Structure 1
Amino acid sequence: MVLIGICKYSGGGMQLTKNPNSTDGLLDISYIKDLTLLTILNNIQSLFNGKITSHKLISTYKTSTLKINVLDNNKSYIQADGELIGSGDFLVSILPKAINFIIP
């Protein structure tokens, strides 16, 4: 599973990105290897307090552009804000200064 974000929270308050900064011009990537239902259940609290990004199965990265090539299209789904938007290969990138954030 690959999670891409720019902010601290997603999916009903889960904290799935490590040290996000909405103004740095970078995507925050979390890559989860061998995700199972048991892993999720055993780490449910970590999903909401941000400690999940320190789990041994998770690698985190920052980049301005990410291209995903899916090897098995039957098992891939692309969601944006909880909505299914497609499947297969995709490219995501940051458009610098496209949105202004007001941070108190």
Structure 2
Amino acid sequence: MNIKIDKEDWKSFPKVTALCIGNAKYFGGGMKITPTADPFSGKFEVVVLQDFKWYDFILKLQKLYKGTHLSERNVSTISASSIEVEELIEHATNTNGSIYVQADGENLGFLPRRFLMLPGTIDFLI
């Protein structure tokens, strides 16, 4: 997967299992997947899980729910106000459009996608 953060150069992440973009800490029934996200910061927290196997999710499920997974060797986090994501095309084979994208359980289609933070767009009552 190729990811561009805040209009910087593209970075390649060859074995992405999951890419989570959030401006709040929790999703998926209480999973604290983006633990340092703050809805008032004006930035997304981007968490990349790389080369996770099915058993990694089982072994690390407690860490994913507690938000303590960021210290794992195959987990990285980035703060950003804009993110562009596209498929990593290897060996000149065009596979664009094969990676499914969803937001809060809703279908957004397939990559490529661009996400842009619009600070102050929604008012919160606390």
TM-score (norm 2): 0.76
Greater fraction of residues in helix: 1
Tell me the CA shift for residue 11 of structure 1.
Answer: 0.8
CA–CA distance in structure 2, aligned partners of residues 67 and 74 of structure 1: 14
On the 8 A contact 2:26/2:35 being kept in 1, the answer is no
Gaps of 5+ in 2: 1-17, 89-94
TM-score (norm 1): 0.90
Distance 1:26 1:14 in 2: 20
Q: Which runs of 4+ in 1 moved over 4 A?
A: none
1:10 aligns with 2:27: yes
Task: Tell me the number of residue pairs that the alignment of Structure 1 and Structure 2 aligns.
Answer: 103
Distance 1:40 1:75 in 2: 23
Native 8 Å contact 1:23 1:101 kept in 2: no
How far the C-alpha of 1:73 sits from its partner, in A, is 3.3
Matched-pair contact (CA < 8 Å) for 2:60–2:69: yes
Relative to structure 1, is the Cα distance of residues 77 and 49 closer, same or farther in structure 2, using a 3 angstrom cutoff? same
The structure whose residues are more often strand, as a share, is: 2
Percent of residue pairs identical:
31
Q: Any stretches of 5+ residues in structure 1 without a counterpart? A: none
Higher gyration radius (CA): 2
Q: CA RMSD in A?
A: 1.4
